[in-house]
Amino acid sequence: MIRRTGPLVAVAAAAALLLSACGAGGRPSEGTGGGDAAASDVGITTTSVKIGGHFPLTGVAAPGYSEIPTGMKAYFDYVNAAGGVNGRKIEFIYKDDAYNPTQTSQVVNELVLQEQVFAIMGGLGTPTHSAVLDYLNAEGVPDLFVSSGSLLWDQPTKNPQTFGWQPDYEVEAKIIGQYVSKNFPNAKVGLFLQDDDLGRDAEKGARTFLDKQIVAAERYTPGNTDVAPQIAALQAAGADLVIGFNVPSYTALSQLVSLRLNYKPQWMYSNIGADPTLVGSLLARFSEGKVTDAGLLEGMISTRYLPTVDDPQNPWIQLFQKVWDASGADGELSNFRVYGMSEAYTFVSALQAAGPNPTRKGIVEAIQKTGKSWKGPWLAPFRYSADRHAGISGVGVTRITGGKTERLTPVFVTDNGTAPITESTEPPSVPPASGIPEVAPAG
């Protein structure tokens, strides 16, 4: 009879594995973010400011996104080499959460309780950062410039510590939607959405202009790499223009599946999933005689709200290239590193605005007071105020042509809901000679 225990044990273990595969959103344990009275606030000394972030350095969202913190670090190092902000060097600690909300809770706990960071900076991902949103606000930790376009970060009454940064998915989808309704008025539109707030916000924005044109909306679960059933459903619905709101690896996966299905709609991908260098490198190996040619992405439409590395004449790209070369880190300057550096540039602006003795309360108030007017690499202004914590207010539409990003429209500016879409009138900004923002204390 002894032998009978084998299958039972095995089955119990498999059931446990399956349960964990079903996913469980962990809750952060309650703790007290103790203050250190010697300096102006937690994480601040006379010579340093300690901040932290969570990023997917491994797992499905790691391609591309894992480069963001390296860009941020390079820019902070550049500022530190020039003496820091008000004599304080910025110490940036980033941890891997593998795009898994349970791990996000754990690493953010470590950052807040063990590392005693002043603020969380650039925490990446909608499902991941949602898991720590309540915790950070309950603890009063500034939760600055979340690396995600969800609308969740713009709830100043409920989450006074949290600020968005990139254009939210609704704003981006509205501008994409208007572009499609004007330029592809007869297209049958299919949506390929990540099944969380990312997809939901985007669908809301896209339906503002495209409700009548949308024939199907299909959702994939991050982590499940078989998207064939979803793409087959879009094909069956007759969609001849597909808009994807997904992370970059799913851009590659959806392209591979479409190849199998002989499905050739006009592809559009949200900025977050559309980096041509990254997606191209993921697909490149299949081009060796097996896939028609490397031009799978040719003609793909996307958006921009930051300068891109294929425009080396841009003064911001020149600055960031200098910063990256000075950092001595491995790899090339990529659009993801530009993104990280732009976020870091925003943080330095915020720290300057918070004045010579920054506090957690002070930096939040400073962003609300003057954030709207800060100049930087972003192509449209932030929407920060006492009752708005929303980030960049617009995007321009682009197309991949011959491996390069081609501009299809000027930058459009809009806001959530029924706000009109207008062309941006601001002249393009240029970086200050030092490469470091010069923001006056908001006092």
Residues that bind another protein (CB under 8 A): 1-7, 9-11, 13-15, 17-19, 21-23, 57-60, 62-63, 66, 195, 219-221, 223-230, 232-233, 235-236, 249, 252-253, 256, 259-263, 282-286, 288, 290-292
Shortest distance (Å) from residue 177 CB to another protein: 24
Kind and range of the H or E element at 50?
A: strand 48-55
Minimum CB distance to another protein smaller for 161 or for 194: 194
Shortest distance (Å) from residue 280 CB to another protein: 11
Rounded to whole angstroms, the Cα distance separating 380 from 329 reads 30
Minimum CB distance to another protein smaller for 5 or for 32: 5
Structure token pair of residue 407: 């501009």
Shortest distance (Å) from residue 207 CB to another protein: 19
Radius of gyration of the chain (CA): 22
Minimum CB distance to another protein smaller for 29 or for 224: 224
Shortest distance (Å) from residue 223 CB to another protein: 8
Helix, strand, coil percent content, the chain, rounded in steps of 5? 40, 20, 40
Minimum CB distance to another protein smaller for 29 or for 281: 281
Minimum CB distance to another protein smaller for 175 or for 252: 252
* Inter-residue contact 168 to 416 (CB < 8 Å): yes
Minimum CB distance to another protein smaller for 61 or for 367: 61
Shortest distance (Å) from residue 265 CB to another protein: 13
Shortest distance (Å) from residue 285 CB to another protein: 4
Strands 422-423 and 266-269: unpaired
- Name the region of 85 (left: φ>0; alpha: ψ -120 to 50; beta: rest): beta
Rounded to whole angstroms, the Cα distance separating 12 from 287 reads 43
CA nearest neighbour of 393 among 366, 426, 363 = 426
Cβ-based burial of 155 (10 A; exposed 0-12, middle 13-18, buried ≥19): middle
